[in-house]
Each structure stands twice: as structure tokens, then as C-alpha cells.
Amino acid sequence: MAQLNEQFFDSKDAMTAQLAELLSSTLSDAITTDGRATMLVSGGSSPAPAYRHLSNLPLAWDKVTVAMVDERWVDAEHEKSNEAFINSTLLQNEASGAEFVTMKNAAATAQAGQDECESAYAALKAPFDITILGMGPDGHTASLFPHAQGLEQALQTSELVCAINAKQSEVTGSITERMSLTLAGIANTKHAVLLISGEAKRAVYEEAKQPGSELDIPLRAVLNHPELTLSVFWCP
């Protein structure tokens, strides 16, 4: 089981304030201690306000590397690109000088681009200082979608990234081809934060803490990981 630190907030604003403080102090401490900081980021509505807040803070951004937790295999200009989302929320203002390591590359498919992406991720300062995760109502986290093609590999491999082809659902929309941190990639961090909004996702989270199939609820594999320190932030 991961070491869980659950924090329940009254509002999204309260969760955002705590997340922004945690990210800022983690980056500052890593820069002081190691000379550099590495932060792995997810898309989604939950972290967006904290990213915007962070982007205005006067950190030594030239010593920060930001990298993606997961990505749809679409170009960076695509409206569903997580890379575009991070560029427009986090990598603005003071934070525009951070290094950005993305997942999407020129390969035609995620499978074909996996080795290049793995090389880029293997070169990151590790363990990562902090990794921000979201979750979907289907129990996916990163792009570890239930019963996806590539999921078993992603849960078993010691590599950091893996191509995933999700089963199409309301949650995935039409773009099912993804690149994702693997379970080992998610665990390759000093501290992870899981952001959960709403009662329905909280119920999925509670179910994921119960014994059961990691293929049905991939978040369960993260919660089961013995070496992970995970803060769980929930707001209504």
C-alpha cells in the first residue's frame, strides 16, 4: 500500500491554495538542495488554477523542468493536447523560462514514439520531485485506462513511459491513443499528489482502496504501490 495522506477541503479554492503552496515549496526546496527541480504534470480542470497561480511566482524557473504525466497522441496545436494546456496555464509569466519535456514526438503512433519518449524521460532528474495526478470517473489515472491495450505492460514494466490505446468511452472521447507514465514512472517520484473533485470520483477512489482488479480500476495499482508517498486532495 502507498503511504496515503488524505486531505479533504471545503472548496476548490482551498484545495488550489494548498496545492499551489505545496508545489511552490517543493520546487524551492529541490532547487536549494539539488540545484534543479523536476515536476510532472497532468491535464484536467483540477490543477489548472494552481498552475496559473504558480506561473506568477518568482521561483528560479530556469532551474525547473516540467514534464507530462500523459498525453493524447495529437499535435501540440490540437485543442485536446495536454502539452497545449500546460503551455497556456503553467508555462506563462514567470514560469515561461522553465524547461518543458513533452511526450508527443514526430512518430506516427504512440507505439512508434515510445522509445524516443522513454529516452527523454530517462534523462530527467530522478526521482522526480513531485508528480501531479488526476483521476477519471472510470478509475483511470495518468492514461492508465481500464483494460486498455498496453495497460498490463504499463503496470509491470520498469520503463517510465508506455504507449496506451484505451477502450473508447465517454471519458476518453474519440482520441484513445496515448502516451503515459507507467506505474514505475509514477512511483519514480519523491511525492505524488492525486487531485479528486466531486462525490462521484470520491466514491471511485474509496472503491480503489478496496481489494480488487487493477485492470478494472488502474488507480488501485497506484494506491497499492508500496514505495509511493501520495497526498490525496479532494474537494466537492
Ligand X SMILES: O=C(O)[C@H](O)[C@@H](O)[C@H](O)[C@H](O)COP(=O)(O)O
Minimum Å distance from CB 35 to ligand X?
30
Is residue 116 within 8 Å of residue 171, measured between CB atoms?
no
Q: Which three cell numbers stand for residue 90?
A: 503553467
Nearer to ligand X, 135 or 163 (CB): 135
Looking at the Cβ atoms of 12 and 190, the one nearer to ligand X is 12
CB 170 within 8 A of CB 109: no
Least distance in Å: CB of 48 to ligand X? Answer: 8
Q: Please say which residue, 97 or 173, places its beta carbon nearer to ligand X.
A: 173
Q: If DSSP codes are grouped into helix, strand and coil, which group holds residue 70?
A: strand
The span from the CA of 47 to the CA of 193, in Å, is 10
Task: Select 46 or 65, whichever has its Cβ closest to ligand X.
Answer: 46
Contact residues toward ligand X (CB under 6 A) are 42-46, 70, 82, 134-136, 195, 197
Closest residue to ligand X, judged by C-beta, is: 44
Q: Return the sign of the alpha-carbon dihedral for residues 169, 170, 171, 175.
A: positive
Name the minimum Å distance from CB 230 to ligand X: 15
Dihedral-angle region of residue 198 (phi above 0 means left; psi in -120 to 50 means alpha; beta otherwise): left
Q: Sign (positive/negative) of CA torsion 97, 98, 99, 105?
A: negative
Q: Which is nearer to ligand X, 44 or 127 (CB)?
A: 44
Nearer of residues 5 and 45 to ligand X, judged by Cβ: 45
**Reduced to 3 states, what is the DSSP secondary structure of residue 88?**
helix
Query: CB of residue 71 vs ligand X: minimum separation in angstroms?
Result: 8
Shortest reach from residue 42's CB to ligand X, in Å: 5
Rounded distance, CA 224 to CA 220, Å? 6
Length in residues, the chain? 236
Cell numbers placing 13: 479554492
What are the strands, taking DSSP E only, across the chain? 3-8, 37-41, 64-68, 70-72, 99-101, 130-133, 161-165, 177-181, 192-197, 229-235
| Nearer to ligand X (CB atom), residue 85 or residue 121 | 85
With contact defined as beta carbons under 8 Å apart, do 181 and 142 qualify? yes
**Least distance in angstroms from the C-beta of 172 to ligand X:** 7
Closest approach of Cβ 69 to ligand X, in Å? 8
